[in-house]
């Protein structure tokens, strides 16, 4: 069974720093990997989707990479802002739109 | 553009009472629909997914059921709630080709 792990569980950084969030998965047979953002008590917002054939995707200050063979993905956030504070979740799709989620990294950007 | 509506936002129910959470999607047809539960401090757990009207797949045995009476309507139900049913319930939709998943705003259910 696919297992998704996110490290660290929580991260605090001062405003303006660049940071990297990590996601690892046990079964490399995936269709795609998605990164989501969740604000407290809210639903999830899709940030980036990387297809299994791709190595990275970029959106604004966000860059996600995928190394399928090693079962790893990273989410790079440049020039962090207090508004980036949220929980970030990664999820892998293994088939029939079956997503396996990590438990998330809670990010706090300190002004 | 596509939108997803989920209600209610919060719900407090006594043990043994019934449950009905509703989710509707607008701006797309024949979406895949999902119900997830997020327990405190834990990841999201897929409860049900549906690829079409009347087609429901259950991922985990539980006290809940799901129905899809219309193409863009997905309902999560229970006849008798348990304390362990408390959690944050999220509805989501996606297209057919392993596309992005779009979530509703969630329902915080407290069973007392």
- Local confidence pLDDT in tens for the 112 residues of chain B: 889 999 999 999 999 999 999 999 999 999 999 999 987 767 788 899 899 999 998 877 678 999 999 999 999 999 999 999 999 999 999 987 667 889 999 999 999 9
Q: What's the CA gap between B111 and B86, in Å, rounded? A: 5
Nearest alpha-carbon partner for B110 in B1, B9, B24, B30: B9
Only one residue has tokens 């809210």, namely A42
Pick the closest to residue B44 from B2, B90, B3 (CA basis): B90
Cα of A38 to nearest chain B Cα, Å: 10
Coil vs helix vs strand at B59 = coil
pLDDT at position A95 over 80? no
> Mind telling me how many Å the CA of B100 is from chain A's nearest CA?
7
pLDDT at A100: 87
Tens digits of residue pLDDT in A28-60: 999 899 999 999 888 899 999 999 999 999 999
Question: What's the length of chain A?
Answer: 111
Tell me whether A53 touches chain B (CB under 8 Å).
no
């Amino acid at each position: 069974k696919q297992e998704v792990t996110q490290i660290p569980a929580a991260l605090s950084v001062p405003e303006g720093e660049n940071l990297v969030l990590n996601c690892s998965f046990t079964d490399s047979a995936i269709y795609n990997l998605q990164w989501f953002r969740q604000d407290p008590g809210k639903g999830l917002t899709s940030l980036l989707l990387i297809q299994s054939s791709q190595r990275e995707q970029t959106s604004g200050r966000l860059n996600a990479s995928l190394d399928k063979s090693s079962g790893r993905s990273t989410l790079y956030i440049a020039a962090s802002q207090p508004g980036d504070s949220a929980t970030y979740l990664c999820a892998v799709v293994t088939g029939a739109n079956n997503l396996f989620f990590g438990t998330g990294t809670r990010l706090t950007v300190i002004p | 553009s596509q939108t997803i509506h989920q209600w209610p936002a919060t719900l407090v129910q006594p043990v043994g009472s019934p449950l009905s959470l509703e989710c509707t999607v607008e701006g797309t047809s024949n979406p895949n629909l999902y119900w997830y539960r997020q327990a405190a401090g834990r990841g999201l757990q897929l409860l049900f997914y549906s690829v079409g009207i009347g087609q429901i797949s259950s991922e985990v045995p539980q006290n809940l059921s799901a129905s899809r009476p219309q193409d863009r309507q997905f309902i999560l139900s229970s006849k008798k709630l348990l304390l362990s049913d408390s959690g944050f319930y999220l509805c989501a939709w996606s297209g057919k080709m392993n596309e992005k998943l779009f979530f509703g705003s969630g329902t915080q259910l407290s069973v007392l």
